[in-house]
Amino acid sequence: MRIAFGCDHRGFKLKNTLINYLEGKGHKIIDFGTFSKDSCDYPDYIYPAASAVANKKADRAVVICFTGIGSCILANKIKGIRAALAYNIKSAKLSRCHNDSNVLVLAADLVKPDYAKKMALSWLKEGFEAGRHSRRLRKIRKAEESQ
């Protein structure tokens, strides 16, 4: 799977940890930065990572900032993106099963690295259940199209 990554300075360490872990699992990584711990603005890195999914250059994306809130708001501004801010394995998994999320948003300062690995792996392995959830996604797409 091709996975895009984007983060701000607060997510730099966790991003690198997850990239190394997921590359070891055989995934292809597209790293949009940031590439240091120097203070920066998350939109400069989250937007390209989420856009890569919308433009089919990546299958999914993982984006990381301090709380994940700003990154989630930004990613969901992009047509076709369903970004989910997850704080535990169950929410990450259900975001795939029920919402077909294509961007996982993590809070660098609220999720420990080993747990984030488990969350990401669970999210990547999970499929979309479809069924009644497809009806809901159609309604989301319709709302998106009305903008």
Q: Which one of the listed residues 27, 40, 97, 98 is annotated catalytic?
A: 98
Could you tell me the CATH number of the domain that includes residue 6?
A: 3.40.1400.10
Residue range 131-139: mean pLDDT, rounded: 77
How many distinct structural domains can be found in the chain?
1
Is pLDDT at 132 greater than 90 in this prediction? Answer: no
- Per the DSSP assignment, residues forming a β-bridge with 103 are 61, 83
CA 75 to mean position of chain CA atoms: 8
Tell the residue number behind the tokens 């250059």, with chain if given: 57
**pLDDT, tens only, 25-39:** 999 999 999 999 999
Q: Is 98 a catalytic residue?
A: yes
Q: Which domain holds residue 110?
A: 2-145
Cβ-based neighbours of 24, under 8 Å, separated by 6 or more: none
CA 117 to mean position of chain CA atoms: 13
Is pLDDT at 133 greater than 90 in this prediction? Answer: no
Please give the pLDDT value at position 128: 74
Residue range 131-136: mean pLDDT, rounded: 75
Residue range 54-64: mean pLDDT, rounded: 98
- Of the candidates 26, 11, 23, 16, the one whose C-alpha atom is nearest the C-alpha of residue 107 is 11
Task: Give the SS3 label for residue 80.
Answer: coil
82 to each of 40, 55, 70, 125, how far by Cα in Å? Answer: 24, 14, 14, 17
Residue range 115-142: mean pLDDT, rounded: 85
Q: Which one of the listed residues 27, 65, 97, 133 is annotated catalytic?
A: 65
Q: What is the torsional sign of CA 40, 102, 143, 55?
A: positive
Contact 83, 51 (CB under 8 A): no
Is pLDDT at 58 greater than 80 in this prediction? Answer: yes
Is pLDDT at 135 greater than 80 in this prediction? Answer: no
Mean pLDDT of the chain: 94
